[in-house]
Amino acid sequence: MTVIAPRRMQPADLARVASVGLRTRRMRAALSALGIAIGVASIVAVLGLSASSQAGLLAEIDRLGTNMLTVSTGKDLSGKEVPLPKTAPGMIARIGPVEQVQSTGATKAKVYRSPLVPAVNTNALTVRAATLQLPEAVRTTVLRGRYLNAATATQPVAVLGSSAAQRLGIDRVRAGQRIWLGDQWFYVAGILGPAKLAPEIDSSVLVGFKAAEQYLGFDGHPTTIYARSQTDQVDNVHAVLAATANPQFPGQVTVSNPSEALVARAAAESALNGLFLGLGAVALLVGGVGVANTMIISVLERRSEIGLRRALGATRGHIRTQFLSESILLAGLGGAVGVACGVLATVVYASAKDWAVVIPPTAWGGGVAAAVAIGGVAGLLPALRAARMQPTEALRTV
């Protein structure tokens, strides 16, 4: 007696048979795959945007440098502000590793677009005396016009920070353009770009130290000093800045490294990744439940098909493989769509922010793998249930 062993299904036949349910029930399959797609898209977008954001921050930190330290006024025990000595910038410049020192000094003057503006509408702007190489020290540029020079620093001439220009409604520099500053007219020489490491400059109107003393009653004491040191000596310079700036009261001087805020921001964004990945995993799990539900209903609706195939010689293994492959195919298609959507979202958002687009291989690879795994788990029970059906019982529905 010759026993014919059942043959294994070829990959092409398996793909054709596994896609039958998806092709005949397209709307249901699309809705089931949607949950998987949303979960995978969330995971890919979170990982992609995080990597792109960190790449952008690192590039920005490299451009701005981590070697700038700021020295600002502190407070005594009574809470009164202690001014920095006038000699502080010069003393700091004598520190060996310090390469550049610039400073600003806050005045009590108010600035308006014209004398007709009510005095209470100050726009939260500060008028500061500034040294001549300040933009270079804080790594900003002059977007419009010119910065102060040796001549204009002694005259009623001002340069606007980026936010100050917006609040005053000035977007370009015209010949003879003036603003009402300290109860007198000052000419506008230029507009600065954003200063990421010194945001206080953005909301400031800058004038020369000599001009501030002559026209605004400024006392000449700096309130913030910006020092650039050799990169490998930042910690050493930081340790002696307070005592150098104010030897008499070093404890009443505030020293900081502005670039640390950017590094902290990158760390904070990384800390939030776990939360968003958790939300993506929940969406992926919900999508897996949807796939399982679809496959269970598919088994119930296709009992006649299962019975007919069993009667024609298909084994339980064939039926089990068919429905398991269908579930994996359904989840895989959802995962592929999710990866495409996640990558597209990353590209669009990163491009809008001028970041380098970075898609980690673990993002798209892990997304597809997770979708396939979810599909396999979700389809296992329906596949076993379909394989256990007896041909005679299944054919009763024919």
Largest CA distance in the chain: 117
Q: Which of 229, 258, 287 is the last residue of a domain?
A: 258
Same domain, 55 and 98: no
Q: What is the DSSP letter of 221?
A: -
Residue 3 lies in a domain: no
Q: How many CA atoms lie within 13 A of 375 on its CB side?
A: 29
Taking the CA atoms of 25, 31, 35 and 37 in sequence, report the sign of the dihedral they define: positive
What does the alpha-carbon distance between residue 44 and residue 394 come to, in Å, rounded to a whole number? 42
Same domain, 153 and 300: no
**Is-contact 341 37, C-beta < 8 A?**
yes
Could you tell me the pTM of the whole model? 0.62
β-partners of residue 208 are 130
Angle at 370 between CA 367 and CA 375, to 5 degrees: 125
In one letter, which amino acid is 30? Answer: A
In the chain, the number of structural domains is 2
Beta pairing class for 204-208 and 157-160: antiparallel
Phi, psi of 353 (to 5 degrees): -95, 0
Q: Is 315 helix (H, G, I), strand (E, B) or coil?
A: coil
pLDDT in tens, the chain (398 residues): 444 455 566 666 566 666 666 676 777 777 777 878 888 888 888 778 877 877 777 676 666 667 888 999 887 777 788 889 999 999 999 998 999 999 999 999 999 999 999 988 888 999 999 999 999 999 899 999 999 999 999 999 999 999 999 999 998 999 899 999 999 999 999 999 999 888 899 999 999 999 999 999 999 999 999 999 888 888 888 889 899 998 888 888 888 887 666 666 655 555 556 666 676 677 677 777 777 777 777 766 666 676 667 666 667 777 777 777 778 888 888 888 888 888 898 889 888 887 778 888 877 787 788 888 877 877 777 777 766 777 666 555 54
Residue 5 lies in a domain: no
Q: What is the domain extent for residue 54? A: 11-61+263-395
CA neighbor of 321 nearest in space, from 384, 390, 392, 391: 384
Residue 1 lies in a domain: no
Residue 225 lies in a domain: yes
Same domain, 77 and 190: yes
Q: Which of 196, 226, 258 is the last residue of a domain?
A: 258
Taking the CA atoms of 241, 245, 251 and 256 in sequence, report the sign of the dihedral they define: negative
Same domain, 85 and 220: yes
